[in-house]
Amino acid sequence: MTTSQTTAAVRFLDRPEGRLAYTVTGDGPLIVAVPGMGDLRGTWRELTGPLVDAGFRVAVLDLRGHGDADTTFAEHGDVATASDIVALIDELGGPALVIGNSMAGSAAVIAAGERPDAVAGLVLISPFLRGGSGGAGMRLFFRLLFARPWGAAVWAAYYRGPLNTGAKSPWLGEHAAAIRASLREPGRLRSLRDLAVALDHDQVTPHVPAVVAPVLIAVGANDPDYQDPAVELAWMGEQLHAETLLVPDAAHYAHHQRPDVVLPAVLRFAGSLRENRGWRRA
């Protein structure tokens, strides 16, 4: 873990149904990084330090009910997460480059479509621009999958296994253990289940044409969440007029599976955004 992460104090953002937790390190133009479903802020450890060293202010936000956030939220999903992203940008002073993994990338697209003044750019790691909710059968599956007493162990194993097919971070075991421990805290497994049941990525699709910010999309070539990762990446790139990066030997977490590929692309993208669009700290 980078020094910037170990020394950053947890802060809290008040929202209508509870508090969200986040950390801020560095100074300069704002970057907001958001983990995907069932993940923790530490997922961004390979990117945070280098981005701070490059002159950016990096805020890492927990999802509702995850990490250090409250478990009092009744509303979850892409739309709710988009509102949280915008609220944090407004709190810290934007505009911001938003980096989102999985459903947080989907939420970032909604945020950019609704508040172009707040979002200077997007880096999306394995996002979803379509796909619906999976229907009643999938909702029942998630309710069973994330039930006690097995839910925390099952998710941690799936995270460590299929979702990290290919290269694996040297700290993956530690991170998966932290996820499992977090989900054993009161209310967190329920929050994960409520999020999984609420997800409907078709809510993202209408916002795509409204996105005017530059976009970088990275997808792992082994990502099991797509029928064909390369084909879906190409389609998403066309929809958002985005730069695309298919990351070899990586699955759903290319940012920590292959930081040697993803980090240089993110640094270059953020640097270009700062130089070409006059993006600076508010």
Q: pLDDT for 148-167, tens place per residue? A: 677 788 899 989 999 999 99
Among candidate residues 53, 76, 55, the one with its CA nearest the CA of residue 64: 76
Residue 5, CB-side half-sphere exposure with 13 Å CA sphere: 17
Residue 281 has pLDDT above 50, yes or no: yes
The pLDDT of 111-121, averaged and rounded, is 96
* DSSP 8-state secondary structure symbol assigned to residue 126: S
Residue 186 has pLDDT above 70, yes or no: yes
pLDDT digits (tens, 9 = 90+) for 73-83: 999 999 999 99
What type of residue sits at position 120?
A
Asked if residue 247 lies in contact with residue 219, where contact means CB atoms within 8 angstroms, the answer is yes
The pLDDT of 48-71, averaged and rounded, is 97
The pLDDT of 225-251, averaged and rounded, is 96
The second-level CATH assignment, the architecture, of 3-132+200-276 is 3-Layer(aba) Sandwich (3.40)
pLDDT for residue 94: 83
The pLDDT of 4-8, averaged and rounded, is 55
Query: Residue 170: is it exposed, middle or buried by C-beta count within 10 angstroms (0-12/13-18/19+)?
Result: exposed
For residues 51 and 98, give the distance between their C-alpha atoms in angstroms, rounded to a whole number: 13
Residue 255 has pLDDT above 60, yes or no: yes
Percent of the chain whose predicted confidence (pLDDT) is above 90: 82
Residue 6 has pLDDT above 50, yes or no: no
| Mean per-residue pLDDT over the chain, rounded | 91
pLDDT for residue 278: 62
Among candidate residues 69, 50, 63, 72, the one with its CA nearest the CA of residue 5: 50
* pLDDT band per the 50, 70, 90 thresholds, residue 137: very low
* pLDDT band per the 50, 70, 90 thresholds, residue 280: low
Determine the Cα angle at 218 with ends 214 and 219, to 5°: 145
57-61: strand order across its sheet: 11-15, 18-25, 57-61, 30-34, 96-101, 119-125, 215-220, 243-247
pTM, to two decimals: 0.93
Q: What is the distance, to the nearest Å, from the Cα of residue 58 to the centroid of all Cα atoms in its chain?
A: 14
Tokens 């697209």 label which residue?
A: 109
pLDDT digits (tens, 9 = 90+) for 81-97: 999 999 999 999 989 99
* Least trusted range by pLDDT, from 15-24, 127-136, 152-161, 186-195: 127-136
Q: How far is residue 104 from each of residues 76, 127, 152, 185, measured CA to CA in Å?
A: 11, 7, 20, 22
Residues 6+ apart with CB under 8 A from 113: 207, 208, 209, 210, 211
Cis amide leading into 16 (omega within 30): no
- What is the rounded radius of gyration, in angstroms, for the C-alpha atoms of the chain? 17
pLDDT for residue 8: 81
Give 274-277's long-range contacts (Cβ < 8 A, gap of 24+): 274/29, 274/55, 277/120, 277/121, 277/214
For residues 34 and 220, give the distance between their C-alpha atoms in angstroms, rounded to a whole number: 18
pLDDT for residue 1: 37
Count CB-CB contacts under 10 A for residue 225: 17
Domains in the chain: boundaries? 3-132+200-276
Considering only the C-alpha atoms of the chain, give the largest distance between any 2 of them, rounded to a whole number of Å. 52
